[in-house]
């Protein structure tokens, strides 16, 4: 059996090399003899539909003389795009938006067009190449849109990260600097500080802060070093002990993944770790005291270490099976360019990934988005495979459950080892 | 068991007869019967049944066209499920991607299965056709009347009406049940998963690997066997308790409501039926939020000091009661919440059955001095069990696959603290069917999901067979005459 697997692996690798080699493009100039009929479908979030229709209209206004466009707009949330696309790739939209953590699965399933191949098309019609697109967007967003050194999607927004919301009436600007002082102040005020531990998206922030890393191999498996020693010289056990100390504080509230908005509205919190999607809820709950900033530092082996975070982005990709790949790529480029990212911010308060769009005064004045930008200095692009999520969620849960004890180093090491085994297990 | 044996015997005997008739037709048939082995319409044409001859010829031509025109492209690759990987090149002139002539493993599997079903149906038709024309030959020899086409049609509406009636349902069962089922079964023997997803990659046959992994044979999925055993155990525990509690609860409730001392029974019944009227999506999600770690019930328990007391006696270690977030708590809560959801259905069934208990039996029992408890255990319950026994079996099977309650109460909500479970994408509250759902929906692990699906099917069918066999054994009906 093992031998067969080896052969299969070699065959798969050979096939991959072939398809990579094939990932080049014929050169030549576009023909201008006759106007093609181009039918495209695009998926976007329900609340963005009106805005996206406006962008489609401006796209047709710009390129209408090159081809006859018929562009359909459909509803599909960025957070669930992967599930729907992978159900039947050939039937999915030509252009769709998705959260950056879905990129590896989409690429592995062959659902995303390699944008590098579209360089010629972009240069001929939009007047800018892939390099220009990369240069115009924040480097983190370009990393998040790349896999195995190939560029797979256009960065659309940089709002998929978390930071600290707090009530400035109850905790001072001094208190929010460290977890210890924040929890102490919260305890004094009779309130709690909330964070989701039972999710690898949130709890990895402590590890990233201490110099641990996660990554993705070419075969889709995840690499993770949380059970070893980090570049900064800390061990995973030490980080876990710090997390246990935070979780054990009576002023700490462990919030279930997806329950944060409810808890903010519940009124028990004076500070909470969340993202821009909870800005309205936090504003309503904290009222005049509504404020946001980067995450605090936490005590690790007696020293203060800045908590890291996951820098997430929304991307727009092109279906690899699109009948009109070139025009689909141009449409994706259009709805993510500087002007349209600005429109996205003014109409929907979505933080831009485009550097020029992000540097405007209006963006700087937005409390949540500027806190996100502040935290992004410590943000890490979390490229991981599907096997990452369940084991890391369970690890976080066993911390808040009290199943792991700070004085039981062997138990912590065992839990970390088991988590790493699960995360790094082969994809099937 | 005798009945089963007799059933098998009759089954094989009829198959044997089917082939015997065919053999006899081939040997003893005249030239046209033998010719109809090549052209299926020959026998009918000889007996002047021209319309019938044309119809069967059309079928023959269609099957031949399908077999040689369409099927070979796919069926010839069935052994490997495809070898040509998809590749594409972008053409700047046309602004389109140009694809090679790539294989699509799933289409190959699908078309092959459909072809096998069509060919099997053709084989049956072909044999039946030959015996039918031989029958015609015999009738002609004996000088009996041979039906015209119109008479044949009339027969389908009269003596052979059952064939007309069953045609569409059988076709539906084949297309919507048999073919998907065959594909599901076949997928369990392939490596169709996230790494092998058509159309971009190919999948192929892997033999029994998936089942070996499922039953703990190691391999790449080390913890699958571990998770499978635990989930199977919980599935059976859940199916037993959810069936038993709602069944008994429903009977007790309907006895209570039907009691002469109960005032306004209709209003009470209505109140409980409302639970059925509200969609489970709504009610269960609400209940889930009530019992959340920071939910209303937890706030209440903390305020009255219950949470603190439970912590003092060491039942919980958290600052809340983990109603739906810790394994044992969640197991008990799910069964409790299911009582609330399931009892009204059983109450309605029980009400109907209880009204049919022969009044003279109850009367005579009362005259003989039996107390209500004795009447319940010796008359009501046996009668209930006898009448509702078969539905109890189906309830049990339904609960093995009770997706709604488990999924709505725990999906994206319950996080397991057991690393070995998490490494197999399972959690303690999962039933086999919800685990299967997670594997396909979130991890695209179709091969394992298929293997689990087969196991669920085997468990359910075995249980149903045994239970029904026990139930219909003997002449228990007479006990109640």
User: B298 touching A, CB under 8 A?
Assistant: no
Sheet strand arrangement including A36-44: A67-75, A36-44, A95-99, A312-318, A153-160
Whether residue A425 and residue B441 make contact (CB cut-off 8 A), yes or no, is no
Our measurement of the distance from residue A183's CA atom to the centroid of its chain's CA atoms, rounded to an integer in Å, reads 28
Enumerate the β-bridge partners of residue A38.
A69
Yes or no, beta carbons of A418 and B420 under 8 Å apart: yes
Taking phi over 0 as left and psi of -120 to 50 as alpha, with beta for the rest, A402 belongs to left
Give Cα separations from B5 to A226, B8, B10, B150, B476 (angstroms). 61, 5, 9, 42, 21
B contact residues 388-427, partner A, Cβ 8 Å cutoff: 412-413, 415-423, 425
Structure tokens at A139: 């480097």
Residues B367, B369, B375, B377: is their CA dihedral positive or negative?
negative
| Total domains, chain A | 2
Question: Which chain A residues are within 8 Å of B326, Cβ to Cβ?
Answer: 401
Whether the CA torsion B177, B178, B184, B188 is positive or negative: it is positive
Nearest-CA distance B368 → chain A (Å): 60
Say if A149 falls within a structural domain: yes
Under the banding of pLDDT at 50, 70 and 90, the label for residue A11 is very low
List the single range of A22-26, A282-286, A393-397, B170-174 with lowest mean pLDDT: A22-26
| Interval A29-50: pLDDT, tens | 455 557 889 999 999 988 899 9
Does residue A401 share a domain with residue A255? yes
- pLDDT for A291-305, tens place per residue? 999 999 999 999 999
Q: Give the C-alpha separation, A285 to A273, whole Å.
A: 14
What gap in Å lies between CA B102 and CA B111, rounded to an integer?
A: 16
> Does the residue A28 lie in any domain?
no
Q: What is the mean pLDDT of residues A259-274?
A: 90
pLDDT-flagged residues of chain B (< 70): 1-4, 217-222, 472-481
Q: Which of A163-177, A359-373, A391-405, B34-48 has the highest mean pLDDT?
A: A163-177
The beta strands (E) that lie in B27-79 are given as none
The answer to whether position A14 is within a domain reads no
Is A259–B294 a contact, with Cβ atoms under 8 angstroms apart?
yes
Owning domain of residue A193: 161-311+380-424
Q: Is residue A16 part of a domain?
A: no
**Does residue A275 sit in the same domain as residue A415?**
yes
Is position A286 within any domain? yes
pLDDT tens digit sequence for A183-206: 999 999 999 999 999 999 999 999
Whether residue A204 sits in one domain with residue A170: yes
Q: Is B197 within 8 Å of chain A by CB? A: yes
When computed from its CA atoms, the radius of gyration of chain B, rounded to whole angstroms, is 31
Q: Which residues in chain A are closer than 8 Å to B195, comparing Cβ atoms? A: 12, 108, 219-220, 427-428
Q: Are residues A398 and A259 in the same domain?
A: yes
Q: Is there a single domain that holds both residue A388 and residue A330? A: no
Helical (H) or strand (E) element with A379: strand A379-380
User: pLDDT for A99-126, tens place per residue?
Assistant: 998 998 899 889 999 999 999 999 999 9
Q: Cα separation of A144 and A8, whole Å?
A: 30
* Contact status of A22 with chain B (Cβ, < 8 Å): yes
Task: Answer whether A390 touches B (CB < 8 Å).
Answer: yes
Residue A9 covered by a domain: no
What is the per-residue DSSP string for B91-145?
Answer: ETTTTEEEE-----HHHHHHHHHHHHHHHHHHHHHHHHHHHHHHHHHHHHHHT--
DSSP string over A74-123: EE--GGGHHHHHHH-GGGS-SEEEEEGGGHHHHHHTT-B--GGGGHHHHH
Q: Is B447 in CB contact (< 8 Å) with chain A? A: yes
pLDDT for the residue B279: 86
Are residues A271 and A405 both part of a single domain?
yes
User: Under a CB-based contact definition with an 8 Å cutoff, are residues B15 and B127 in contact?
Assistant: no
Mean pLDDT (chain A, rounded): 88
A17 falls within a domain: no
Q: What is the pTM of this model?
A: 0.81
Assess whether A297 and A409 both reside in one domain: yes
Residues A170 and A218 in one domain: yes
In a domain, A255, yes or no: yes
Residue A7 clears pLDDT 80, i.e. is over it: no
The answer to whether residue A16 scores a pLDDT higher than 70 is no
For residue B199, say if its preceding peptide bond is cis, omega within 30 degrees of 0: yes
Percent of chain B at pLDDT > 90 equals 38
Q: Is A398 within 8 Å of B95 when comparing Cβ atoms?
A: no
Global ipTM: 0.76
Q: Could you give the C-alpha distances from A316 to A53, A90, A171, in angstroms and in order? A: 15, 17, 39
Neighbour tally for B365: CB within 10 Å: 17
Q: Chain A to chain B, count of Cβ pairs less than 8 Å apart?
A: 175
pLDDT band with cut points at 50, 70 and 90 for residue A171: very high
Going from the C-alpha of B73 to that of each of A220, B222, B360, the distances in angstroms are: 32, 38, 72
Same domain assignment for residues A241 and A118:
no
Quick check: B268 and B262 in contact, CB under 8 A?
A: yes
Look at the alpha carbons of B232, B237, B242, B244 in this order and tell me if their dihedral is positive or negative.
Answer: positive
Nearest chain A residue to B97 by CA: give it: A325
The domains of chain B are located at 19-207, 224-480
Q: Give the position of tokens 């369940």.
A: A390
The two structure tokens encoding residue A236: 């995973």
Q: What is the CATH number of the domain that holds A357?
A: 3.40.190.10
Helix (H, G, I), strand (E, B) or coil at A200: helix
The answer to whether residue A81 neighbours chain B at the CB level (below 8 Å) is: no
| pLDDT tens-place string over residues B175-231 | 999 999 999 999 999 999 888 888 888 999 999 988 888 887 654 456 788 888 899
Q: Does residue A25 carry a pLDDT above 70?
A: no
Q: Is A267's Cβ below 8 Å from some Cβ in B?
A: no
Which neighbouring-strand residues pair with A420?
none
Give the relative orientation of helices B381-400 and B446-471 as an angle to the nearest 10 degrees: 170
Q: How distant is the Cα of A389 from the closest Cα of chain B, in angstroms?
A: 9
Chain A residue numbers with beta carbons less than 8 Å from the beta carbon of B292 are: 256, 259, 262
Q: Which of the residue ranges A2-16, A150-164, A318-332 would you say has the lowest mean pLDDT?
A: A2-16
Q: How far apart are CA B349 and CA B246, in angstroms?
A: 11
- With beta carbons less than 8 A apart as the criterion, state whether A414 and A224 touch: no
Please tell me if residue A36 touches chain B, with a CB cutoff of 8 Å. Answer: yes
pLDDT averaged over chain B? Answer: 88
Contact B233, B226 (CB under 8 A): no
The three-state secondary structure class of A261 is helix
Q: What band does A416 get if pLDDT is binned at 50, 70 and 90?
A: very high
Mean pLDDT of A2-24: 40
DSSP code at position A223:
E
| Among B90, B440, B446, the residue to mutate for chain A (most A Cβ within 10 A) | B90
Same domain, A190 and A302: yes
pLDDT for B226 equals 85
A39 and A140 assigned to the same domain: yes
Which among B99, B71, B96 is positioned nearest to B85, based on CA atoms?
B99
Min distance A57 CA to chain B CA atoms (Å): 21
Q: Which two tokens stand for residue A109?
A: 């399933």
Q: Are residues A190 and A323 in the same domain?
A: no
**CATH, domain range B224-480:** 1.10.3720.10
């Amino acid at each position: 059996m093992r031998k067969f697997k080896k052969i299969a692996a070699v065959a798969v690798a050979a096939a991959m090399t072939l398809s990579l080699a094939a990932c080049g493009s014929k050169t030549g100039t576009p023909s201008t003899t006759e106007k093609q009929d181009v039918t495209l479908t695009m998926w976007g979030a329900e609340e963005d539909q009106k805005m996206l229709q406006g962008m489609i209209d401006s796209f047709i206004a710009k390129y209408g003389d090159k081809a006859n466009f018929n562009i359909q707009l459909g509803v599909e949330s960025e957070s669930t795009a992967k599930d729907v696309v992978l159900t039947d790739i050939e039937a999915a939209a030509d252009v769709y938006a998705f959260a950056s953590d879905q990129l590896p699965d989409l690429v592995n399933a062959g659902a995303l067009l390699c944008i590098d191949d579209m360089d010629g098309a972009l240069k001929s019609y939009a007047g800018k190449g892939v390099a220009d697109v990369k240069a115009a967007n924040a480097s983190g967003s370009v990393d998040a849109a790349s896999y195995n050194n190939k560029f797979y999607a256009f960065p659309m927004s940089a709002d998929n990260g978390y930071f600290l919301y707090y009530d400035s009436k109850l905790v001072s600007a001094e208190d929010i600097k460290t977890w210890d002082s924040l929890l102490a102040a919260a305890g004094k005020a009779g309130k709690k500080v909330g964070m989701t531990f039972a999710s690898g998206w949130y709890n990895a922030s402590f590890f990233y802060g201490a110099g641990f890393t996660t990554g993705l191999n070419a075969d889709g498996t995840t690499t993770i070093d949380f059970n070893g020693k980090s570049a900064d010289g800390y061990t995973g056990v030490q980080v876990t002990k710090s997390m246990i100390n935070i979780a054990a504080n009576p002023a700490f509230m462990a919030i279930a993944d997806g329950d944060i908005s409810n808890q903010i509205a519940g009124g028990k919190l004076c500070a909470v770790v969340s993202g821009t999607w909870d800005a309205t809820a936090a504003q309503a709950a904290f009222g005049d005291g509504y404020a946001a900033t980067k995450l605090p530092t936490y005590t690790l082996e007696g020293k203060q270490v800045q908590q890291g975070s996951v820098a997430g982005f929304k991307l727009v990709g092109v279906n690899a099976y699109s009948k009109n790949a070139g025009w689909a790529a141009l449409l994706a480029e259009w709805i993510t360019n500087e002007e349209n990212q600005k429109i996205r911010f003014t109409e929907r308060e979505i933080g831009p990934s485009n550097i020029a769009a992000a540097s405007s005064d209006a963006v700087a004045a937005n409390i949540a988005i500027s806190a996100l930008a502040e935290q992004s200095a410590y943000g890490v692009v979390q490229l991981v495979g599907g096997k990452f999520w369940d084991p890391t969620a369970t690890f976080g849960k066993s911390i808040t459950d009290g199943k792991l004890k700070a004085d039981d180093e062997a138990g912590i090491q065992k839990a970390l080892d088991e988590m790493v085994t699960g995360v790094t297990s082969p994809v099937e | 068991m005798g009945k089963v044996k007799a059933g098998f015997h009759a089954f094989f005997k009829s198959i044997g007869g089917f082939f015997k008739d065919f053999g006899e037709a081939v040997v003893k048939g005249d030239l046209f019967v033998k010719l109809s082995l090549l052209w299926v319409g020959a026998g009918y044409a000889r007996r002047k049944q021209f319309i019938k001859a044309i119809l069967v010829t059309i079928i023959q031509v269609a099957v031949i066209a399908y077999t040689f025109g369409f099927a070979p492209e796919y069926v010839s690759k069935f052994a490997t499920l495809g070898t040509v990987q998809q590749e594409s090149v972008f053409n700047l002139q046309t602004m389109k991607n140009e694809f090679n002539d790539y294989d699509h493993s799933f289409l190959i599997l699908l078309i092959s299965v459909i072809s096998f079903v069509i060919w099997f149906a053709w084989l049956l038709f072909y044999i039946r056709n030959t015996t039918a024309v031989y029958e015609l030959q015999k009738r002609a020899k004996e000088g009996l009347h041979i039906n015209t086409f119109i008479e044949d049609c009339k027969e389908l509406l009269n003596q052979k009406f059952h064939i007309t009636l069953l045609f569409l349902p059988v076709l539906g069962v084949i297309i919507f049940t048999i073919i998907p089922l065959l594909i599901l079964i076949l997928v369990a023997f392939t490596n169709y998963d996230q790494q092998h997803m058509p159309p971009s990659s190919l999948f192929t046959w892997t033999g029994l690997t998936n089942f070996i992994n499922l039953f703990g044979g190691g391999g790449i999925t080390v913890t699958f066997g571990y998770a499978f055993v635990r989930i199977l155990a919980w599935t059976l525990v859940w199916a037993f308790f959810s069936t038993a509690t709602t069944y008994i609860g429903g009977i007790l409730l309907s006895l209570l409501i039907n009691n002469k001392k109960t005032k306004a029974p209709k209003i009470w019944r209505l109140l409980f039926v409302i639970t059925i009227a509200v969609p489970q999506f709504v009610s269960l999600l609400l209940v889930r939020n009530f019992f959340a770690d920071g939910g209303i019930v937890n706030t209440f328990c903390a305020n009255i000091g219950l949470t603190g007391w439970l912590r003092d006696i060491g039942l919980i270690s958290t600052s809340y009661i983990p109603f739906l977030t810790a394994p044992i708590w969640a197991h008990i809560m799910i069964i409790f919440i299911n009582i609330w959801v399931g009892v009204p259905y059983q109450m309605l069934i029980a009400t109907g059955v209880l009204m049919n208990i022969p009044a003279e039996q109850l009367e005579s029992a009362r005259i003989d001095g039996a107390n209500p408890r004795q009447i319940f255990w010796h008359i009501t319950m046996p009668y209930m069990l006898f009448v509702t026994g078969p539905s109890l079996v189906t309830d049990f099977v339904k609960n093995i696959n009770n997706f709604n309650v488990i999924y709505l109460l725990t999906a994206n909500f319950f996080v397991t603290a057991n690393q070995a479970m998490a490494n197999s994408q399972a959690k303690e509250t999962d039933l086999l069917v919800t685990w299967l759902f997670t594997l396909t929906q979130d991890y695209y692990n179709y091969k394992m999901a298929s293997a689990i699906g087969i196991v669920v099917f085997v468990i359910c069918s075995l249980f149903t067979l045994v239970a029904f066999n026990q139930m219909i054994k003997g002449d228990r009906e007479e006990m109640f005459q």
